[in-house]
Amino acid sequence: MRLQGKVAVITGAGSGMGRAMANLFAAEGAKIVAAEWNETTLAEVVAEVKAAGGEIAGVQGNVADQGDCERIIDDAVAQFGKVDVLCNNAGVMDLNAGAAEMDNAIWERCLGINLTGPMYLTRKAIPVMKAAGGGSIINTASVAGVGGGAAGCAYTVSKHGIIGLTKNTAFRYCQEGIRCNAIVAGAVETNIMQSVDPTKMDPTGIARSQTWYAAIPGQLKATDIANLALFFASDESKMVNGACVPADAGWTSA
């Protein structure tokens, strides 16, 4: 029970990596606050965790909204008294468009969910964690945060930004008991592409990215990412702070 007694807030908990984290963390003893915009998938993960004997509370909300982010953390404190772990996992894809083809709505959506939301949640959670003596923040980044070939401009910028948020948070609050690390995820079997309309993908951007996609050594499972998140959430990683760890089967090792 590596997370016994800990309270973990997980965004994007209704599917993919977030759902895997919720189930794994609960099995390891954590009390889960599952945050998700989709009420159907939120109900599903809450039912799954409870059926397995875990303790979980669901919170419906949009992480791009500051009020919803603050309510997620407030609900966690109201339900369980504290927050030990924050997994900023919710994310959406873009349309593989470059800057010249960029649609404002896609830019704002990607930056709002993938970057601004994690900042809102981090900002709200840090005082709560400090009051309890510390905590661990885990950001789901991407190979798009360390290179330019994996996606379009909006997604790439948002994931580069989450790397910056991770490093600054780690440096700024390391003396106050707060750790912040990022998982640089590669090709993972999730439903993130359902967040965009495939008929609106930029064909030139897709064709350009295919040259890099050809180097993917293999796809990971959502549970692979959850296992790494578990390490960051547990006290086993208490001296790991500001790390941006690739989980990409070696895709970016060249």
Pair of tokens at residue 114: 């993938």
Q: CA 88 to CA 63: how far, in whole Å?
A: 9
Q: CA 47 to CA 73: how far, in whole Å?
A: 21
CA angle centred on 176, ends 121 and 17, rounded to 5°: 40
Q: CA 110 to CA 90: how far, in whole Å?
A: 11
CA–chain centroid gap for 167, Å, is: 15
Catalytic residue numbers? 155
Q: CA 133 to CA 200: how far, in whole Å?
A: 47
Token pair 């309510």 in the structure block, residue: 71
212, with CB counted inside 10 A (0-12, 13-18, 19+), is middle
